[in-house]
Structure 1
């Protein structure tokens, strides 16, 4: 009996192996290749980046606990947006939300999408010691005289994003620190849980502020992110407090190709 159990366990694919097989299946591989056409990203490169991201220790909870179908959908959404999931690129991530895996676009991903759309984007933070002037209206603009002395610079107080369009028009998105922190407190599950989830905000506040402001600015851009997490989330999402959650995705069975095809057709 023990030998039979051991053989059965050896034949049961790991979650990563199952995801890899799905990406190679006829239900998904052609759709991924079609979505990536024209982006300069091959299907094989996309797959390698996705598996590298999902194999990281911080992705273990998502891979093991999130609904498997939601993982496949999020991967398809990343391909449709032409974004790679490799952690080193910082373009996009899969994060758990209530037992579902969702695509979350990083601020570098938004900038990449803007560039493809013919936009030029600049983002920066303003410190208490800086002198700045904001102009609203039909020709918005901002001018900043930075304080370069670290002793006089003080803490960051605001963040802005200027978007330049091919037509010569531009938009200005400006957020105070209080506005950024309000978004963080409302939308960031990782920050609210504390621990490692809050470290990304506490250790890199300026970068997280730029990310938040870029996300808000992107609402005016001519881009689309299918299934993307709307606002405020971050790129670190550990879930030690979600131990009661379980993955309800049925385990793959022999002869289940029809079910996989049906899932592929629905995406």
Structure 2
């Protein structure tokens, strides 16, 4: 009887512990949801959403639901709601979906940051009038370069028999580099540029989530670690596009994406935490009129300023809300055309 009682008591105690854990988790989710929805209630964010989604209630609610779900997912659940929403706004500005291959939200220093994938760069380049293809080269492939300048010749024959590119560890170990081919759709002019493995590793090393493992289960959640080949291609394309003779003034979304990702990588390279430094309010009050003038004169997009500051500093809700109003200073298309 005593043994049965002990087993029954132990079962009840275990059940109570599980129920208590579920209650705590439920309360944590409830608090998290409240914080995210409070961030959406900020006037600057509300106005930004209305502008980017044409004040369409269904689209706005769908966006909120998508961001809320992402903010509860492991890897982003410790990020500030404002930073996750800001990444979503960046994706809307670039007109890229937050899905594998196009746009990613990754965690860095308690804040969420936006990263662009292989397909995302292809889409942005296409809108600017360019077709872009990346060929990843591995040690098992036949590859050589000869000549220089305009007479450079590249020989590349992939060895698909020996390749194990779907194995991320193998891909990282055997990477030689990436060939980025760009064709101007209007003229048909083509260029081919090789980006070495060393440079790609350096660029990826700047990326906030690369090589980071979960403290909870030791797993890697970064797109750089789970989709290595695609991210090799993405970083190589970004590197080449940022140096290519493209009129970025006529490719605003492409230019904006390059600025966003460069800003994020620069912060990571300097090993700064996006949550480590507060931005002085006095400095904010001093600089805001200058930023507004830059946006009004078309010298810099509002989101570029917002992204740089939100990625570099720990901003208060009021500061972020104030920065969001910079969008109001952007000239409308008719005004811009008349100014020309």
TM-score interval (norm. to shorter): 0.5 to 0.7
Distance in 1, matches of 2:239 and 2:320, equals: 36
Counterpart of 1:210? Answer: 233
Using the TM superposition, name which of 128-137 and 213-222 deviates more. 128-137
Counterpart of 1:39? Answer: none
C-alpha contact (below 8 Å) 1:22/1:28 kept by paired residues: no
Counterpart of 2:118? Answer: 107
Distance in 1, matches of 2:201 and 2:136, equals: 14
Map of 1:221-236 to 2, 5 A cutoff? 221=246, 222=248, 223-225=254-256, 228-230=260-262
Q: TM-score, normalised by structure 2?
A: 0.54
C-alpha contact (below 8 Å) 1:99/1:245 kept by paired residues: no
What is the CA distance between 1:199 and its match in structure 2? 6.6
Counterpart of 1:58? Answer: 75
Counterpart of 1:177? Answer: 197
**Are 2:326 and 1:266 equivalent residues in the alignment?**
yes
Counterpart of 1:16? Answer: 36
Counterpart of 2:160? Answer: 148
C-alpha contact (below 8 Å) 1:83/1:91 kept by paired residues: yes
Counterpart of 1:80? Answer: 93
Provide Cα deviations, 1:83-108, integer angstroms capped at 9, x if missing partner: 222x3x43223334455543322222
Counterpart of 1:162? Answer: 181
Counterpart of 1:7? Answer: none
Which secondary structure does the structure 2 equivalent of 1:163 belong to? strand
Q: Structure 1: which 5+ runs fail to align?
A: 1-9, 37-41, 234-240, 251-255
Task: Considering fraction of residues, name the structure with more helix.
Answer: 2
Q: TM-score, normalised by structure 1?
A: 0.66
Q: Structure 2: which 5+ runs fail to align?
A: 1-29, 249-253, 266-272, 279-313, 328-340
C-alpha contact (below 8 Å) 2:87/2:113 kept by paired residues: yes
Distance in 2, matches of 1:108 and 1:264, equals: 28
Which secondary structure does the structure 2 equivalent of 1:229 belong to? helix
Counterpart of 2:292? Answer: none
C-alpha contact (below 8 Å) 1:83/1:92 kept by paired residues: yes
Distance in 2, matches of 1:151 and 1:192, equals: 23
Provide Cα deviations, 1:203-253, integer angstroms capped at 9, x if missing partner: 5433332122122122135422266121785xxxxxxx9999997745xxx
C-alpha contact (below 8 Å) 1:173/1:217 kept by paired residues: yes
Tell me which of 141, 149, 167 is aligned to 1:137: 149
C-alpha contact (below 8 Å) 1:93/1:104 kept by paired residues: yes
C-alpha contact (below 8 Å) 1:120/1:165 kept by paired residues: yes
- Point out which structure has higher relative CO (alpha carbons under 8 A, 6+ apart): 1
Tell me which of 188, 200, 223 is aligned to 2:207: 188
Distance in 1, matches of 2:119 and 2:189, equals: 22
Distance in 2, matches of 1:16 and 1:116, equals: 33
